Every structure is written in C-alpha cells, then in structure tokens.
Amino acid sequence: QVQLKESGPGLVQPSQTLSLTCTVSGFSLTSNSVHWVRQPPGKGLEWMGGIWGDGSTDYNSALKSRLSISRDTSKSQVFLKMNSLQTDDTAIYFCTNFNWELGFDYWGQGVMVTVSS
Amino acid sequence: DIMMTQSPLSVAVTPGESASISCRSSKSLLHSNGITYLSWYLQRPEKSPQLLIYQISNLASGVSGRFSGSGSGTDFTLKISRVETEDVGIYYCVQFLEVPLTFGSGTKLEIK
C-alpha cells in the first residue's frame, strides 16, 4: 500500500540548513508527484512546494529563494532542503502524494522541526 | 495567488446535529477541462490531514457518507450530518487549480 515517511533532525539552529527526507513506498516517483506541506504549532497548513513525476518542481514564492526539492527515484526518496532557517520555520513538516483527481491523497506522519539555538 | 477564505473560524455542535463549513476562493476553481479542483480535509488532533472530499462533492474512499460537499465556481460548502465525537478536528479546503496550491485557514469543529 502507499506509504510516506518523513525523517530528519528535530532541532536546527537559526541560520542553518534544514534537510528532510521523504521515503515512499507503494508507488513510483516517476509517475506520481510528492509535495511538502508544513504546519507551525497551533497554525494552519502551508504548501511549500513539490516535485512532479517528470522531475520538474514548483515552489511557494514566499519560500522559493530558500527552498530546494529533489529526489532519488532509485531509492524512492524525495528531499527537502531549506536554508537560512529562522524561528518561524519551526513546524511539523509533512510530505504528501498528489494526484490530479484527488489532490493530496496520502500523507506521511509528519516530522516536528524546531529552530532554536 | 488564489486566496481561500473559510468560515466560521470555529463551530460547536451537539452530537447528532449537523454542521456546515463555507469556503470561498478569490478566483473560480473551474478548469477548462470541466473539473473543479477543490478538496476538503480533516485534521484530527495530533494527526496528519485526511482527504474527505475531492472535486467539490466526491467522497474519498473509506469516508463516512455523513460528509458531503457542494458548490461551484468560487463558493463551496462542506456539510457534516449527524455529527459524532470522532468528527472533532480542523477542517481545511484547498485549491489545486494553480500553483501555489493554497489552503483555507481552517475551521475547528468542537463538540458541545
């Protein structure tokens, strides 16, 4: 069955770079699209960006200058890298599978990232 | 960017009664292919969001028939009939018509 699982450091220092991995199973990254959505504590959901089946990417313009999404199809992994982290980047980061019929149909459990010195 | 505006911010419902949540987009979500790219999600406490409704009114697999969606263009409604305690959480609408994909700010459903 379709599964996604996020992994990465729980704590990142201000101004440093966040690196997260989304490991997927049950589908191919070349035919599906995987996106990142984050949620600051007590707040709503924010789409960050995604990588499409053809390998192209789209980003939230508010994050574009700091954000990079890539993948390794052989390992079924999608990567998020975001630099110059600040305290307001503290959030739960989710990866989610996207398809044009349903939208975000499968989600990972999320990983909590705290930005603090 | 397409703005998604949800109301109310929160709603308290007696078990067995109904609740409605509104979502309005700043631009029509109807694509030239005839599909309206609007979905609804429920995020239960401490959980990942769960797909409820896609393309305005289609029930996602495994979702209770007590959930229904309606609307068109820029105005959409999620209705929850015979509310149960397991319906507690935050409901979000989201548009997939164009990038950036955008979520509504959420509506919190509580039980009276």
Q: Nearest-CA residue of chain A relative to B41?
A: A104
CA distance A84 to chain B (A): 22
For A49-108, write each residue's pLDDT tens digit: 999 999 999 999 999 999 999 999 999 999 999 999 999 999 999 999 999 999 999 999
**What would the mean pLDDT of A16-27 be, rounded to a whole number?**
97
**Parallel, antiparallel, or unpaired: how do β-strands A18-25 and A77-82 relate?**
antiparallel
Q: What is the pLDDT of residue B73?
A: 96
Per DSSP (E only), the strands in A29-75 are 33-39, 46-51, 57-59, 67-72
pLDDT of residue A69: 98
- Report pLDDT for B108: 98
Span between the terminal Cα atoms of chain B, in Å? 36
Distance CA B47, CA B27 (A): 30
Q: Which of B48, B92, B103 is the closest to A110 by Cβ?
A: B48
Which stretches of chain B drop beneath a pLDDT of 50? Answer: none
Contact: A103, B37; criterion CB under 8 Å? yes
From the list A44, A59, A60, which residue is nearest B92 (CB)?
A44
* Per-residue pLDDT at A115: 98
Provide the pLDDT for residue A86. 97
**Which pLDDT does position B107 carry in this prediction?**
98
- Cβ contacts of A37 on chain B, cutoff 8 Å: 49
The pLDDT value recorded for residue A116 is 96
**Measured between alpha carbons, how far is B31 from A44 in angstroms, rounded to an integer?**
26
SS3 at position A74? helix
